[in-house]
Amino acid sequence: MKTIMSLAILAAVSFGTVREASAQVVVEVAPPAAYIASSTPEYYEGRPVYYYNNYWYYRDHGRWSYYRREPAFLYQRRSHWAVRPGYRHGDWGGRYHYRGHR
Amino acid sequence: MTRTRSYLGLLPFLMATALGCGGSQPATNEPSGGSADVAEAQPAQPGTGLEEDESTSDLAMHHRHHHHGGFAMFIAMGVDQINATPEQKGAIEKIKTDLWAKMEPAHEAEKQVLLAVADGVAANQFDQGKIDAAIQNVSTASAGIHDAIADSLNSLHDTLTPPQRQALVDKMAAHFEVWHSANTPEEDKDHGHLTRLAKELSLTPDQVDKARAAYEQSIGSVQKFDRAEADAHIKAFSDAFAADHFDAKTLPTKGELNAHMAVWGINRMVKLYEAVAPVLTPDQRTKLADTIREHANYHANGG
């Protein structure tokens, strides 16, 4: 009986957690076109990936996905950017900026 | 009790599974992240992100004033942001120089349109014959770009890796999305060209309302851009360029698409400035004319 009670409690805890977690699902939004047009990708697993709003995004068969946990390689690439002055993931080099003309 | 313990031993796994099902976790800084831990993202719609920051707003302003190269310009702009290796940079720079050179006649023709419009704004009187002739020159020059850059596109394909080719077609499509949004009259109701001008010229609400009314009336007479034609080209080019073997000369799209884009974009711009100019003060007209001349003399290739 004790065994059955324990299993019931465990099941309740586990399923309760699943339901609660599902209710907290955050749907991340893919990078907008202006961002894709003007930012520099990294390449990982044979495809371009973009760092946007703290996640790495990639497109596969027309759909955007993101890595929920940052792959080690991409973490290292971000660290690499940090030591390159004037470079940022969304940088388009200022070449097309009108700032200098205004 | 023994059986109970064995189930309880699964608790950490069950809890981890439950949390995993709960959706996204913030990207961690741990280098141990697994590539299988992925989730689908919601498409970035509506909008293109133009309103996000100054750099994307500047990109929109670029695409509101420079239409001459059509998709060739999107490729030339995109190739700067594909993260080329040091070994590739020499070849890519040469290809890029060639692309811009082939677009130069259309760029020069577009410059003449912009200068004519700037003169019209300054004088509050537009020389329609001069502007129409200049637009026709842009159309003719833009139509020739498709064939002129075929060899450059083939060289570019051979220079890039498959993931870089994918990045380039993504960027081309993204630039088109931005260009299309920036040149859609409906955009001016929220954060479009007129809104930007209102900020730059400190327009009063009355000036904005009058300009918008005149613009909405005049733009209705312009033949609309056929987006389906462009979408078909994006798909055809993307499929072909991503493949191992590519020959730009076999693409089904012809030069007319670049001409259609250029003519629509320039007509939209001209109609907007023609609608705005009459409601401006002399100082505002001078300032706007100067800004348009800056756009005319701007060269995306740094020249």
Three-state SS sequence of chain B: CHHHHHHHCCHHHHHHHHHHHCCCCCCCCCCEECCCCEEECECCCCCCCCCCCHHHHHHHHHHHHCCCCCHHHHHHHHHHHCCCCHHHHHHHHHHHHHHHHHHHHHHHHHHHHHHHHHHHHHHCCCCHHHHHHHHHHHHHHHHCHHHHCHHHHHHHHHHCCHHHHHHHHHHHHHHHHHHHHHCCHHHHHCCCHHHHHHHHHCCCHHHHHHHHHHHHHHHCCCCCCCHHHHHHHHHHHHHHHHCCCCCHHHCCCCCHHHHHHHHHHHHHHHHHHHHHHHHCCHHHHHHHHHHHHHHHHCCCCCC
Which residue of A67, A80, A81 is the best one to mutate when testing the B interface, meaning the one whose CB has the most B CBs within 10 A?
A: A67
Rounded distance between C-alpha atoms, residue B121 and residue B282, angstroms? 10
Contact A2 B1 (CB under 8 A): yes
Residue numbers in A near B46 (CB within 8 A): none
Residue numbers in A near B35 (CB within 8 A): 44-45, 67, 71
Rounded distance between C-alpha atoms, residue B294 and residue A101, angstroms? 7
Within a domain: residue B48? no
Is it the case that residue A21 has pLDDT exceeding 70? no
Write down the pTM of the prediction: 0.78
Contact A32 B47 (CB under 8 A): yes
- Comparing alpha-carbon positions, the chain B residue that sits nearest to A31 is B44
Residue numbers in A near B30 (CB within 8 A): 69-70, 72, 75
Given a contact cutoff of 8 angstroms between Cβ atoms, the answer to whether B143 and B261 are in contact is no
**Residues 6 or more apart whose Cβ sits within 8 Å of residue B168:** B75, B78, B79, B82, B156, B160, B241
CB environment B113-130: b (16+ within 10 A), e (fewer): bbbbbbbbbbeeebeeeb
- Given this model, what pLDDT does residue B188 score? 61
Which of B277, B302, B82 is closest to B175 using CA atoms? Answer: B82
Within a domain: residue B118? yes
Within a domain: residue B240? yes
Within a domain: residue B253? yes
- Given this model, what pLDDT does residue A96 score? 36
- Comparing alpha-carbon positions, the chain B residue that sits nearest to A97 is B58
Mean pLDDT of chain A: 67
State the total domains in chain B: 1
Domain coverage including residue B176: 53-297
**β partners of residue A55:** A52
Identify the band that residue A17 occupies on the pLDDT scale cut at 50, 70 and 90. very low
Cα distances (angstroms) measured from residue B187 to each of B94, B179, B284 = 37, 11, 23
User: Could you give the dihedral angle defined by the CA atoms of residues B72, B77, B83 and B86, in that order, rounded to the nearest 10 degrees?
Assistant: 80
Pairing between β-strand A63-67 and β-strand A47-52 as defined by DSSP bridges:
unpaired
- Given this model, what pLDDT does residue B148 score? 93
Distance from CA of A30 to the nearest CA of B (A): 5
Within a domain: residue B245? yes
Mean pLDDT by 10 residues, chain B (303 residues): 33 31 32 58 59 67 85 91 93 94 93 96 96 94 92 97 96 92 76 88 96 91 88 92 94 86 92 96 97 87 55
Identify the band that residue A39 occupies on the pLDDT scale cut at 50, 70 and 90. confident
Distance from CA of A83 to the nearest CA of B (A): 16
Contact A21 B22 (CB under 8 A): yes
Nearest to B35 among A18, A45, A54 (CB): A45
Within a domain: residue B277? yes
- Given this model, what pLDDT does residue B215 score? 92
Cα distances (angstroms) measured from residue B42 to each of A38, A100, B205 = 20, 36, 36
Residue A46's H or E segment, with its range, is none
Residue numbers in A near B187 (CB within 8 A): none
Within a domain: residue B174? yes
Within a domain: residue B31? no
Is it the case that residue A5 has pLDDT exceeding 80? no
Angle between helices B256-276 and B128-143 (to 10 degrees): 160
Contact A18 B21 (CB under 8 A): yes
